[in-house]
Amino acid sequence: MDKFRITTVDYIILGLLQQQLLTGYGIRMIFETTAIGSYSSSPGTVYPAVNKLKKLGFIKDINSPDGKKLQLTYTSQGKTELQKWLKQDISDEDIAKRMDILILRFGFMEDIVAHPEKLKFIKSFIEKISTYLKGLKNYHKQESSNMPTQGRLAFEFGIETISASLKWAKRALKVLQT
């Protein structure tokens, strides 16, 4: 495995650093206390990622305003790398398996991606999730009578969750268009 391959954790760290200066410990606490918590906040995850991003020139240490400790910030190279990740096309697999990462990408776009790119992202999200939802509903219509009760209920939970995500995306598009 290439030790310099950029991972989702690396991109999350870049996204956090484009929002504020942080120490390595501060990054760990955000991972531990927010919805990002599905990723490991352990020192064995965060600090190697920070060191890799430094070696790649994507982040660097700077003195804190009080001069007492070093904080991390992202570099212009880090900004460029983050922008590339944020602007990646949305795949069908992203919709089916990585919805949480898509929402993180959307959240990190605030101050770093041009407005037309944000609109492109959310429109693509709506298109892809609509297609996915249609497929789920068609499958449900054809197969629900053959499913065990709890399996059917679990499948319906998935449909309702995806429906809620689509509703949110349509609302987000309206907000972005105003």
CA diameter of the chain: 67
The pLDDT tens digits of the residues spanning 67-111 come to 778 899 999 999 999 999 999 999 999 999 999 999 999 999 999
SS3 letters across 97-111: HCHHHHHHHHHHCCC
* pLDDT, the chain, mean: 92
The pLDDT tens digits of the residues spanning 26-64 come to 999 898 888 776 666 666 778 899 999 999 999 999 987
CB 142 within 8 A of CB 106: no
Distances (CA, A) of 144 to 23, 150, 155: 51, 11, 9
Q: Which of 46, 42, 44 is nearest to 12 (CA)?
A: 46
Which residues are bridge partners to 59 per DSSP? 74
Which residues are bridge partners to 73 per DSSP? 60
The pLDDT tens digits of the residues spanning 145-177 come to 999 999 999 999 999 999 999 999 999 999 999
**Residues 2-25: what's their mean pLDDT?**
88
Which residues are bridge partners to 61 per DSSP? 72
Q: Which helix (H) or strand (E) holds 73?
A: strand 70-74
Who's near 56: CB < 8 A, 6+ residues apart?
4, 6, 77, 81
Confidence of residue 1 (pLDDT cuts 50, 70, 90): very low
